[in-house]
Structure 1
Amino acid sequence: MTRNVEGLPAPNERRRLREAAELTLDEVAAAVGVAAATVRSWECGRTTPRGRKRDAYAGFLARLPELAGAADATGPPGRPDPADPADPADPLLVAVGPGAGAEGVAEAPDGPADAGGSADTTAAGPAGRPATRPGVRPVVDPAEAFDTLHDLAAPALARQAYLLTGCRALSLEAVDRAFTRAWDQWPEVATDPDPVGWVRTIVYDYALSPWHRFRRSHRRPDRPPADPADRILLDALLALPRIHRRTVLLYDGVGLDLPDTAAETEATTPATGHRILNAHADLAARVPELADVPVEKQSAALRERLAALRPPFSLDPRPAAEVRGGGERRTRQWTRATLGLTAMIAAATAYTAATAPTRYDPPLAPGGSVSGVPPLSGPQQLTERSRHLHDKLRADPQAGPARVAPRLD
């Protein structure tokens, strides 16, 4: 998207202005009054600000060139001097390998949100404790960048997949498959404005695939949580349709705003709003804690309940090094299988070419029926004279012509 929309610069120009002023997504979001994920969507071109948010964002972008000039002289206001230690609130610098530009790094979005937190909060660990984000540090190795993304996003994504499926094995398998695919397509993921969202989409698609019901290992759900309230909430979530379950988890659990939720679920904003309202109504009818909550406060109450839900087992994804190694082994296996199949086809083709006939032999014409020939009926019956001659020939020991000469007696 390269054209201006509603008086605003193009999305790539919006990001360039922010980076020139050395501002983070959190700082822009605080100045405009929205979430960092919303600013990220505006810079990607997935959504467009409207109304008062558009006016505030346009005014902020108009002042960015002045802030960029001031940053060149004294540094941006409220930011530490470049010689000072890195600020932990700044986004992580992730290497993208060749093609990343002169610096060899690209800005990665904020860490993934837990099922009960907002999109610009830090990721939660397996036990629900918030994981502290490291400071700004240059990463030059793609494997190290992938490991950083995996450590930040995998625990929260495993928890979200569990809320979608209620199955521990399927949740961990979905996270493993998503990060394996991310490593296979790492240049694309590293340059994506929202790598966590890229992986999250794969996790949700795999976890909610309807084909899993044909697998014996995933037909029966795991044991429910120990807390009765958590058990009721999880059963209510699993009773929702798949698309409603995904929408309410993105909106209330992850903390995406309505346009971002609509974009990630590939639906219109009004349709997404109706899905959220229907999901809230179904959950309120099934969960006693949400029944007495006013409609305007159901989203906040549901977010707190999702954050407080504790699975009856740990959701620890595989280490990032094993995920990378497994993906590489799978790639090598597929490569060997492809080469083996190609060799078999080549050998079969060569054998066929060597044993094929070099000339054409026309087939024999099929036989036709012939009419006018009397059928073979076997030997005729002997007459009395023929029988007498037959007996004479058998009984006469003489040989030669005299044998058949008649006698006088």
Structure 2
Amino acid sequence: MTQSTTSPLPPPKERRRLREAGSLTQTQVAARLGVRRATVRAWERGKSAPGGPQRDAYARLLAALAQPAEGQEPAQAAPAPPARSSPPALPSPPAVPSPPVLPSLTADQAFDALYAFCAPALVRQSYLLTGRRELAREAVERAFQLAWQRWPEVARDRDPAGWVRATAYEYALSPWHRFRPRYRSPEPPPADPADRALLSALLTLPPSYRRTLVLYDGVGLDLPETAAETEASTPAAAGRLTRARQVVAARVPELADPAALHRRLAELASTERLRSAQPTAVRTVGERRNVFWTRAAIAFTVTIIGATTLTLRTAPTHYEPPIAPAQAVRGVPVPPAMGPLSSAEVALRAKLRGEAGSGPERVFPTAR
């Protein structure tokens, strides 16, 4: 395709770098240009190039994103990676405006921005996975607490929101929750019969199928991204999605259309009053848990060192042969039975009885 000289475009890799530097996702760029997300992905990979008005609009957008990075004022640099947007949560907005250019953020500010952007949507998505309101909130808070403990790693990740989402989903779908007393009894279902039918259909799916359906039809990820997040191949993810849609359509026939299913998932997640804690409280709990486990690790290490030292001090320093096992003594004569006393023994006994029991007298042996 011959590119217009009036609207030059940077190389494909530079297009993606400018989009990420401007904290925009492919979905947001596609919404602003009026194209599909797959089209923007193809432009950034160099598989195709825009033309006509789309090319002019795309060139203007990239030029606007390049201006903050090429300016002379350091305070107008692109925002830090942790505040980067994630794929649209439930419900998916039709168009997202370009975020304002912010100065560099501290670790606390970047974490709070990521939490404020992702936490409400993640709580609703976790509710679709579990059907439990309290467990959904707990899963999101635990995921963000772990993210704060590993913040340098999460901040450098290309998709911090995806990192937290995967962690929250893993915690929410853990089979060990069934053994906790607080989660043994079922929670009250939604008040709307249609919502109850959809939630019941979701909970009948296996966890991997349920997660695939929520990621693809709820969050809006494409099939390769869904397969990567669920740790499955693309054909396996496609099979799970097809089977999950069939089960939901069999129980709720009006949701056989994927567009209707996407809309109903967004409505079901939005009707429930699901609130998340404040980011400051999440960071505080995460820091306390980090301090607790650090102290526990130190105490365990000290215990191991003390036990090792005691073993070294009390262990023998030379070889000690083992004690031989007991054996029966043979050849000992049998003791004779008691018989009558002889005349000499009778005389000795009478003499001993006649002597005083105490006093200066002593009995001395006499020579025979």
TM-score normalised according to structure 1 size = 0.68
Task: Give, as a single letter, the amino acid of the residue that structure 1 aligns with 2:330.
Answer: S
> Which 5+ residue runs of structure 2 have no aligned equivalent?
1-10, 69-76, 363-368
How much has 1:163 moved relative to structure 2? 0.7
Residue of structure 1 in register with 2:279 after alignment? 320
Verify the 8 A CA contact 1:111 1:121 in the aligned structure 2: no
Query: Which region of structure 1 is more displaced relative to structure 2, 354-363 or 176-185?
Result: 354-363
Match of 1:199 among 147, 160, 164: 164
2:305 aligns with 346
* 1:141-191 Cα distance to aligned partner (Å, 9 max, x none): 111011000000001000100110011221111101111111122222222
For the 8 Å contact 1:161–1:204, the answer to whether it is kept is: yes
Counterparts of 1:359 and 1:77 in 2: how far apart (Å)?
Answer: 80
Structure 2 partner of 1:5: none
Q: Aligned pair in 2 of structure 1 residues 112, 221: CA closer, same or farther (>3 Å)?
A: farther
Greater share of helix = 2
Residue 296 of structure 2, aligned match among 301, 312, 337: 337
Distance in 1, matches of 2:274 and 2:32, equals: 33
- Alpha-carbon offset, residue 136 of structure 1: 2.6
1:58 and 2:43 are equivalent in the alignment: no
Distance 1:343 1:267, change over 3 A: closer
Deviation at 1:270, TM superposition (A): 2.2
Cα separation, 1, equivalents of 2:15 and 2:234: 28
Q: What does the per-residue CA deviation read over 1:55-104, in whole Å, with 9 as the maximum and x for residues that have no partner?
A: 99434399xxx99xx98xxx767849958xxxxxxxx9542xxxxxxxxx
The match for 2:6 is none
Q: Is the 8 A contact 2:123 2:140 kept in 1?
A: yes
Superposition TM-score, scaled by structure 2 size: 0.75
In 1: Cα distance, 2:317 partner to 2:162 partner: 62
Shift in CA distance, 326/391, structure 1 to aligned 2, threshold 3 Å: closer
The answer on whether the counterparts of 1:108 and 1:194 sit within 8 Å (CA) in structure 2 is no
Deviation at 1:241, TM superposition (A): 0.9
1:135 matched to 2:100? The reply is yes
Aligned residue runs from structure 1 range 179-194, under 5 A: 179-194=144-159
AA in 2 matched with 1:276: L
Determine the structure 2 residue equivalent to 1:19. 17
Unaligned runs of 5+ in 1: 1-12, 43-52, 84-91, 96-105, 123-131, 401-409
Distance 2:208 2:308 in 1: 49
Is the CA contact 1:112–1:156 (under 8 Å) kept in the aligned structure 2?
A: no
CA distance in 2, matches of 1:391, 1:18: 122
| Counterpart Cα distance in 1 of 2:277 and 2:61 | 40
Seen in structure 2, the aligned counterparts of structure 1 residues 386 and 162 have a Cα distance that, compared at 3 Å, is farther
Length, aligned pairs only: 335
C-alpha displacement of 1:381: 2.5
Determine the C-alpha separation between the residues in 2 that align with 1:202 and 1:216: 23
Aligned to 2:173: 208
- Report deviation, 1:368: 3.2
Q: Counterpart of 1:214 in structure 2: which amino acid?
A: F
Q: Distance in 1 between matches of 2:284 and 2:243?
A: 43
Deviation at 1:140, TM superposition (A): 2.5
Looking at structure 2, the residues matched to 56 and 392 of structure 1 have their Cα atoms a distance apart, in angstroms, of: 127
**SS of corresponding position for 2:263:** helix
| Cα 1:54/1:321, change in 2 over 3 Å | closer
Q: 1:270 aligns with which of 206, 217, 235?
A: 235
Q: Counterpart of 2:36?
A: 34
Give the direction of change, closer, same or farther, for the CA distance of 1:302–1:339 in structure 2 (3 Å limit).
same
Match of 1:117 in 2: 92
**Are the counterparts in 2 of residues 94 and 139 from structure 1 also a CA contact under 8 Å?**
yes
- Give the SS at the match of 1:60: coil
SS of equivalent to 2:49: helix
Q: What is the aligned partner in structure 2 of residue 251 from structure 1?
A: 216
For the 8 Å contact 1:247–1:272, the answer to whether it is kept is yes
**1:101 corresponding residue in structure 2:** none
Equivalent residues in 2 for 1:151-190 (5 A)?
Answer: 151-190=116-155
Aligned partners of 1:252 and 1:354: how far apart in 2?
65
Contact 2:218–2:262 (Cα < 8 Å) also in 1:
yes
Change (3 A) 1:79 1:354: closer
Contact 1:189 1:195 in 2 (8 A): yes
Q: Cα gap change, 1:289/1:59 in structure 2, threshold over 3 Å: closer, same or farther? A: closer
CA pair 347-387 structure 1, distance change in 2 beyond 3 A:
closer
Query: Would you say the 8 A contact 1:165–1:208 is kept in 2?
Result: yes
Q: Is the 8 A contact 1:238 1:245 kept in 2?
A: yes
For 2:154 and 2:270, the matched residues in 1 are separated by 30
- 1:250 deviation in Å? 0.7
- Deviates most, 307-316 or 277-286: 307-316
Q: Does 1:147 align with 2:112?
A: yes
Distance 1:310 1:250 in 2: 13
SS in structure 1 opposite 2:47? helix
Give percent identity, aligned residues only: 44
Q: Return the match for 1:299 from 252, 258, 262.
A: 258
Q: How does 1:43-54 map to 2 (within 5 A)?
A: 53=42
Quote the offset at 1:207 in angstroms. Answer: 0.6
RMSD: 4.1
Distance 1:391 1:111, change over 3 A: closer
Is the Cα–Cα contact under 8 Å of residues 12 and 46 in structure 2 kept in the other structure?
no
Q: Is the alpha carbon distance of 1:376 and 1:309 closer, same or farther for their aligned partners in structure 2, counting shifts above 3 Å?
A: same
